[in-house]
C-alpha cells in the first residue's frame, strides 16, 4: 500500500503564528491546502492570493489552492504568479468551459485539479478526467469546517480508484472534509491518497503543533494497522 499523504488546511492553523507553524509543517506534511472562498459560491470568505504569495516565501511544499469561487477564471493568473502549484476549481463552476480553464491552469505551469461536491457525480468530469492531476472528493458540503462526514462518498472514492487503475490515469485522489480519527481507516480502505487535515484531524489535537502532528500520525497508524 502506498504511503498516505497529508495536506494541512491552513485556514485552520493559528495565523498569528503562521511562519512558525509553516516551518514546523515543512518537515512533516506533503502539501499545503489553501482554501479561497468568495462569499458567493459558499457564504464564507477565507484566504486569498495575497496569502499564497506570503506562504510561498516560507514554504518548502507544494501549495494546493482550492477555489470555492463562483468565477474561478478570475483567480488563475494571479494565483499562478503568487506561487500556487495546484489550482483546483469546482466542477460545478467550470463545466461550461472546463477545457479552457484546465488548459489555462496548465499554461501557467501549474497542475490542474478538480473538486467534486458531495452530490456531484463523477460523470460530470468524464470527458476531461484524463487531463487532471488531482481530484478532490468533498465528504462534507463545502464552506465551513466541522461538518459531519457523508458516508456515501466512500463509493465515489472507490469509483475514482477503479477508474484510475483501469485506465492508467495519473490523478491523485484527495479527500476534503472530516478527515480524522473517525474516518482515517475507511478513507484509506476506499482508496484515498491525500487527506486534508484541519481542526479535528490535526490542529485541535494539541496546542503544540509538533505534538499534534505526532498524535495525528499515531492515531492514523493505529486506525489503519492491519
Reference 184, options 211, 214, 215, 219; nearest CA is 219
Helix (H) or strand (E) holding 89: strand 86-89
Q: In what order do the strands lie in the sheet with 172-176?
A: 5-8, 194-197, 172-176, 134-138, 111-116, 86-89, 63-68, 32-37
Instruction: Show the cell assigned to 14.
Output: 493559528
| Residues linked to residue 66 through DSSP beta bridges, in sequence order | 35, 88
48 is in an annotated binding site: no
Q: Is 146 annotated as a binding residue?
A: yes
Query: Has 40 been labeled as part of a binding site?
Result: no
- Is 143 assigned a ligand-binding role in the annotation? yes
User: Does the annotation list 145 as a binding residue?
Assistant: yes
- Is 207 annotated as contributing to ligand binding? no
Q: β-pairing, 134-138 with 111-116? A: parallel
From 47, 58, 109, select the one nearest 81 (Cα to Cα): 109
Would the annotation count 17 as a binding residue? no
**In sequence order, what are the beta bridge partners of 89?**
67
33 labeled part of a ligand binding site: yes
User: Comparing C-alpha atoms, which of 39, 45, 89, 41 is closest to residue 64?
Assistant: 89
The reply to whether 144 sits in an annotated binding site is yes
113 known ligand binder: no
Q: Which three cell numbers stand for residue 38?
A: 468568495
Is 200 annotated among the ligand-binding residues? yes
Just list the catalytic residues.
35, 176
Q: Is 199 annotated as a binding residue?
A: yes
Binding residues: 33, 35, 66, 143-146, 176-178, 198-200
Binding residues for a divalent metal cation: 33, 35, 66, 176
Binding residues for substrate: 66, 143-146, 176-178, 198-200
Amino acid at each position: 500500500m502506498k504511503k498516505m499523504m497529508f495536506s494541512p488546511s491552513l485556514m485552520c492553523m493559528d495565523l498569528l503564528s503562521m511562519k512558525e507553524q509553516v516551518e514546523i509543517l515543512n518537515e512533516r506534511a506533503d502539501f499545503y491546502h489553501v482554501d479561497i472562498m468568495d462569499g458567493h459560491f459558499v457564504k464564507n470568505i477565507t484566504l486569498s492570493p495575497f496569502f499564497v504569495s506570503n506562504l510561498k516565501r516560507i514554504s518548502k511544499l507544494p501549495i494546493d489552492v482550492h477555489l470555492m469561487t463562483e468565477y474561478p477564471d478570475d483567480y488563475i493568473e494571479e494565483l499562478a504568479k503568487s506561487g500556487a502549484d495546484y489550482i483546483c476549481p469546482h466542477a460545478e463552476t467550470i463545466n461550461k468551459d472546463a477545457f479552457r480553464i484546465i488548459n489555462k491552469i496548465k499554461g501557467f505551469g501549474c497542475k490542474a485539479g478538480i473538486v467534486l461536491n458531495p452530490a456531484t457525480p463523477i460523470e460530470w468530469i468524464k470527458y476531461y478526467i484524463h487531463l487532471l492531476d488531482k481530484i478532490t472528493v468533498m465528504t462534507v458540503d463545502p464552506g465551513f469546517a466541522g461538518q459531519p462526514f457523508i458516508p456515501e462518498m466512500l463509493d465515489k472514492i472507490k469509483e475514482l480508484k477503479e477508474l484510475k487503475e483501469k485506465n492508467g490515469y495519473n490523478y491523485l485522489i484527495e479527500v476534503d472534509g472530516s478527515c480524522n480519527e473517525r474516518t482515517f481507516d475507511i478513507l484509506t480502505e476506499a482508496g484515498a491518497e491525500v487527506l486534508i487535515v484541519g481542526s479535528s484531524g490535526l490542529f485541535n489535537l494539541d496546542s503544540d503543533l509538533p505534538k499534534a502532528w505526532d498524535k495525528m500520525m499515531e492515531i492514523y497508524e493505529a486506525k489503519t494497522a492491519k
